[in-house]
Copies of this chain bind each other. A is one copy, B any other.
């Protein structure tokens, strides 16, 4: 059997609609960073919200934060498969960019804290620990996979 070629499509309205659904529905994602010791990739789970872009709340004690303090390059996979069928037929988006940490003693932090707790009420248990801060992923490039044969390359302008 021979596979038909899978072209990467540019963004269109269908892709942008799917992206909006995915990024606003996501409560968590898989964060990829560069391990400081080896330079290799390291993937871990993070909680997220979408606030004009992807935001996570992470602890200085975690491996991924230590990695990001060394090298802010990161990737974030959003969009979870449902229970049924082939997991690869469910849409997901892979974002690439750089992470910027927010100062805990800033108005931006306070504003995000309120939005975060609406979406993640149980985070009240640790959100005020001094080792936790918000980090934004500034997206440079995104790959949308809407299921087999539906791959799109997107830019920051196609998200949100």
Q: Is the interface of A mostly helix, strand, loop or mixed?
A: mixed
Indicate how many identical chains form the complex.
2
Contacts of A73-94 to chain B: CB distance below 8 A:
73-77, 79-81, 85-89, 92, 94
Contact between chains at B30 and A77 (CB < 8 Å): yes
Per the bound structure, the CA–CA distance linking A3 and B145 in Å amounts to 39
Distance in angstroms from A76 CB to nearest chain B CB is 7
**Is A106 interfacial (CB 8 A cutoff)?**
no
Give how many A residues have a beta carbon under 8 Å from the other chain's beta carbons: 55
Distance in angstroms from A46 CB to nearest chain B CB is 8
Contact between chains at A43 and B75 (CB < 8 Å): yes
Selected contact of A43 from candidates B6, B77, B132, CB within 8 Å: B77
Question: Interface code A25-61, partner B: CB below 8 Å = 1, 0 otherwise?
Answer: 0011011111100111111111100000000000101
| Chain A interface residues (CB < 8 Å from chain B) | 1-3, 5-6, 27-28, 30-35, 38-47, 59, 61, 63, 73-77, 79-81, 85-89, 92, 94, 96, 120, 122-123, 125-126, 128-132, 143, 145, 148
* A/B interface sample: 9 pairs, CB < 8 A: A1-B128, A3-B129, A27-B87, A32-B41, A32-B43, A32-B75, A44-B92, A45-B79, A45-B88
